[in-house]
Structure 1
């Protein structure tokens, strides 16, 4: 990918999380149509994000006091510190306002404003509750995508046919397994299985098989 294209994708990312701040204040969600089910995932990172935000605010105040006699440096650091605090809040806002979405024929998985994966329900072969604390992401070429929140995933979706996942800077991956986190993972799994079992919802899981095994 060219440098210009990469910068364009980064600018689009910045725009998305900035927009998310407004939707967060308005207590609205992006991309969840009537009749679709939102599967939240922001809860696992909330304490961490708010903790970092508090540290950022304290740092802004302290640096401001230390640089009182240096107005130019004070102004520069104030802008940088305020932007960092805003970015941390935008990170959380994007996760809250852009939940995973279970639609009539698609499972739309999102990683805040950074990336998303659309999976046709007809391609889902199995789904299970599968809590994992991820120390190292799967390496490229593994055909596995992990959408971690707070260093963990809690739902594994196995596909009968691969889908294409696009990273933030445009890198494309062909994947057959997707692991993601949901705040209420068991309810998310149950909802997805029910949708798969419904007429026209894809391949219904077989009772007693791997597709319906809990945990």
Structure 2
């Protein structure tokens, strides 16, 4: 229980660090490699969710204006929720996929950070998928319910979830804003 709480606290810290980097227009972990973004398909959805959270914050504040203690507690929680939603998107923006000379670093915000050695990639193809049924050995990193690049690996790699679970994956499906560019960059290797 304490281990899970610690992991959640670190995850939350990474989200808010992503927010700071996003405001500073910086990226994390892209030095020495070529970055491939994947957030273009989720920006409008996250902005809409943040807007709905702001509207909810205002509505709850108006409804609880005569109950100062409840008003203050829920205002803090609502502001935290708005920052959390913005932080989720910011973490994805500042942590793109990164291709180096030795590996492809596949990421999804603060949730996923998977290093795939280039010699472990058997095949790469541009393949748009809108449905993703859970399957053993497959990691789907969909953005807007869509993946656009599929990697088949020669040997399974370990994927650790942010709560500490681990599983072996031999197929990775991910989204890239420029899937053709990512496939071209990986093909000669």
TM normalised by structure 1 equals 0.85
Among 132, 138, 145, the alignment partner of 2:134 is 138
What is the CA RMSD across the aligned residues, in angstroms?
1.0
Higher Cα Rg: structure 1 or 2?
Answer: 1
The equivalent of 1:75 in structure 2 is 72
Structure 1 segments, 4+ long, off by >3 Å, are: none
Q: Tell me how far 1:137 sits from its aligned partner.
A: 4.1
User: Partners of 2:171 and 2:59 in 1: how far apart?
Assistant: 46
SS of residue in 2 equivalent to 1:164 = strand
The equivalent of 2:161 in structure 1 is 167
For 1:84-95, list aligned pairs within 5 A.
Answer: 84-95=81-92
SS of residue in 2 equivalent to 1:31 = coil
SS of residue in 2 equivalent to 1:158 = strand
Q: Tell me how far 1:97 sits from its aligned partner.
A: 0.1
Q: Tell me how far 1:184 sits from its aligned partner.
A: 1.2
How many residues align? The count is 189
The equivalent of 1:151 in structure 2 is 145
Residue deviations 1:170-211 (CA, integer Å, cap 9, x gap): 1111111100000111111111213x1xxxxxxxxxxxxxxx
For 1:26-175, list aligned pairs within 5 A.
Answer: 26-34=24-32, 36-134=33-131, 136-139=132-135, 142-175=136-169
User: Partners of 1:122 and 1:47 in 2: how far apart?
Assistant: 36
